[in-house]
Structure 1
Amino acid sequence: MELVDLHSHTTASDGTYTPSESVQRAKSKGLRAFAITDHDTVAGIQEAVEMGKKCGIEIVPGIEISTVDAGQDIHVLGYYMDYMQPQFLQQLESLRNVRNVRNEMLIHNLQQLKIPITMEEVVKRKKMKEGNIGRPHIAEVLMEKGVVQSVQEAFELYLGKNGKAYANPPRITPEEAIDLIKEAQGVAVLAHPGLYANRELVIRLIHYGLDGIEVFHPDHSAEEAAYFAELATENGLIGTAGSDFHGERNGVIFHGDIGDATTHYDAVDKLRKASIEARTKKLR
Structure 2
Amino acid sequence: MIRDLHSHSTASDGVLTPTQLVQRAIEMNVDMLALTDHDTVAGIAEAKQASGNQPITLISGVEISILWEGKNIHLASLNVDENHPTLVKLLANQAALRQERAIQIGEKLAKAGIANAYEGARKLASGEVTRAHYARFLVAEGYVRNDEHAFKRYLGMGKSAYVKPIWCSMAEAIDATHQAGGVICIAHPLRYKLTARWIRRLIAEFKQLGGDGIEVAGCAQTPDQRQLLARWATEFDLYASQGSDFHYPSGWIELGKGLALPSECKPIWDKF
CA distance in 2, matches of 1:261, 1:59: 19
- Deviation of 1:170 after TM superposition, in Å, equals 2.3
Q: Which residue of 2 aligns with 1:164?
A: 160
2:234 maps to 1:233: yes
CA distance in 1, matches of 2:48, 2:268: 17
- Deviation of 1:274 after TM superposition, in Å, equals 2.7
2:54 maps to 1:55: yes
For 2:81, what is the secondary structure of its paired residue?
A: coil
For 1:122, what is the secondary structure of its paired residue?
A: helix
Specify whether residues 34 and 96 from structure 1 end up closer, same or farther in structure 2 by C-alpha distance, changes over 3 A only.
Answer: same
Q: Which residue of 1 aligns with 2:178?
A: 182
TM-score (norm 2): 0.89
For 1:54, what is the secondary structure of its paired residue?
A: coil
Q: Which residue of 2 aligns with 1:125?
A: 124
For 1:189, what is the secondary structure of its paired residue?
A: strand
Specify whether residues 173 and 87 from structure 1 end up closer, same or farther in structure 2 by C-alpha distance, changes over 3 A only.
Answer: closer
CA deviations on 1:104-143 (whole Å, 9 max, x unpaired) are 121122222222343221111123xxx2221111111100
CA distance in 1, matches of 2:223, 2:157: 24
- Deviation of 1:254 after TM superposition, in Å, equals 9.9
Specify whether residues 115 and 261 from structure 1 end up closer, same or farther in structure 2 by C-alpha distance, changes over 3 A only.
Answer: farther
Specify whether residues 236 and 202 from structure 1 end up closer, same or farther in structure 2 by C-alpha distance, changes over 3 A only.
Answer: closer
Contact 1:240–1:263 under 8 Å retained in 2: no
CA distance in 2, matches of 1:186, 1:201: 20
Count of residue pairs the alignment pairs up: 264
Specify whether residues 260 and 270 from structure 1 end up closer, same or farther in structure 2 by C-alpha distance, changes over 3 A only.
Answer: closer
CA distance in 1, matches of 2:116, 2:203: 37
For 2:7, what is the secondary structure of its paired residue?
A: coil
2:259 maps to 1:258: no
Structure 1 unaligned regions, length at least 5:
276-284
TM-score (norm 1): 0.85
CA distance in 2, matches of 1:223, 1:155: 28
Q: Which residue of 1 aligns with 2:244?
A: 243
Q: Percent identity?
A: 34
Q: CA RMSD in A?
A: 2.2
